[in-house]
Structure 1
Amino acid sequence: MSGAPAQGPGFRRGRRIGVDVGDARIGVASSDPDGMLATPVETVPAGGKSLARLVALAEEYQVVEVVVGLPRSMNGGEGPAAAKVRRYAGELAARLAAGPAPVPVRLVDERMSTVTAAQGLRAAGRNSKKGRSVIDQAAAVVILQSALEREKSTGRPPGQPVDPSGVGPEG
């Protein structure tokens, strides 16, 4: 045995980061280079310096892609929170495209990621009230792990690419 993980024919090898954008905090998770497991990285305070920190993390982890959770309603619709995340992802995509090694950004459906993360933390005996930043990281893990699994099962990149020109999703 070579020890290489079995991946679908379309799986792209390389480390990714997952991002859960919130009004106060941004949870960040990373995957291993084989895309098997997403793990928490850190919680970035939302605001002016958050984009620079995410670009720095993308460079530090030498990622091949950034996956941003897109909040949708249970029926799949998008409201003001989704519009805000789309704008943020566009700004992030523009910054990452301008770097020495351009990194694509993809939006993936994040329905229930925070709920799933909070339930997992409660099951592990963690108090969610004391660890909001931990929930943000755990939500980023849920978003990224879901994206990795979707790509492995379909052989296609998950979600939709973000146009780095800021015009909207690529088609």
Structure 2
Amino acid sequence: MRNGVRLGIDVGTVRIGVARSDPGGILASPLETVRRGKGDLDRLAALAGEHEALEVVVGLPTSLSGREGPAAAGAREFAARLAARLPAEAVRLYDERLTTVTAESGLRAGGVHGRDRRKVVDQAAAAVLLQAALDGERLTGRPPGEIVRGSS
């Protein structure tokens, strides 16, 4: 397992959830919610720099059957634009099936409801995604997901 902070990104149509790992790459925790739109890529690149992130794991939404639809195409395009702003091979796509559902459920169980939950669910989903990627890397010994090449 490689040491270094990783960021997890859950890209939504309105908000982008961001999580970070500890330097040992063991535990993911919610970090920030970034408004989708003008300046979002700048903020994500800045966060990667501030945290000296080894890599950024972007969620790839697929159906339960593993098929990719319009949301996956959007995530791929977003990840490519982010990759163009970061060092080579720093961005990876990782299957995010059920991360938002898992995050919602955890927040509900923790007593976080309504508007409060909407404020943090994207960060929580990013943490679920990143934790799954970290756990997968620990189990296989290989970096998670697929490398994204940058495009402008």
With normalisation by structure 1, the TM-score equals 0.86
- 1:29 corresponds in structure 2 to 19
Does residue 96 of structure 2 align to residue 110 of structure 1?
yes
- 1:65 corresponds in structure 2 to 55
Give the C-alpha shift of residue 129 in structure 1: 4.5
**Residues 62, 96 of structure 2: 8 Å contact kept:** yes
Structure 2 letter corresponding to 1:124? G
Does residue 43 of structure 2 align to residue 53 of structure 1?
yes
Runs of 4+ in 1 over 2 A off after TM superposition: 128-131
Give the alignment's Cα RMSD to 1 decimal.
Answer: 1.2
**Residues 35, 148 of structure 1: 8 Å contact kept:** yes
Q: Percent identity over the alignment?
A: 58
Give the C-alpha shift of residue 138 in structure 1: 0.2
Structure 1: 5+ residue runs without aligned partners? 1-10, 167-171
- 1:6 corresponds in structure 2 to none
- 2:4 corresponds in structure 1 to 14
Q: Which has the larger radius of gyration?
A: 1
Give the C-alpha shift of residue 163 in structure 1: 1.0
1:134 to 120, 123, 147: 120
Structure 2: 5+ residue runs without aligned partners? none
Give the C-alpha shift of residue 103 in structure 1: 6.1
With normalisation by structure 2, the TM-score equals 0.96
SS at match of 1:145: helix
Number of aligned positions between the proteins: 152
SS at match of 2:135: helix
**Residues 18, 29 of structure 1: 8 Å contact kept:** yes
SS at match of 1:131: helix
- 1:125 corresponds in structure 2 to 111
Structure 2 letter corresponding to 1:68? V
- 2:32 corresponds in structure 1 to 42
**Residues 64, 103 of structure 1: 8 Å contact kept:** no
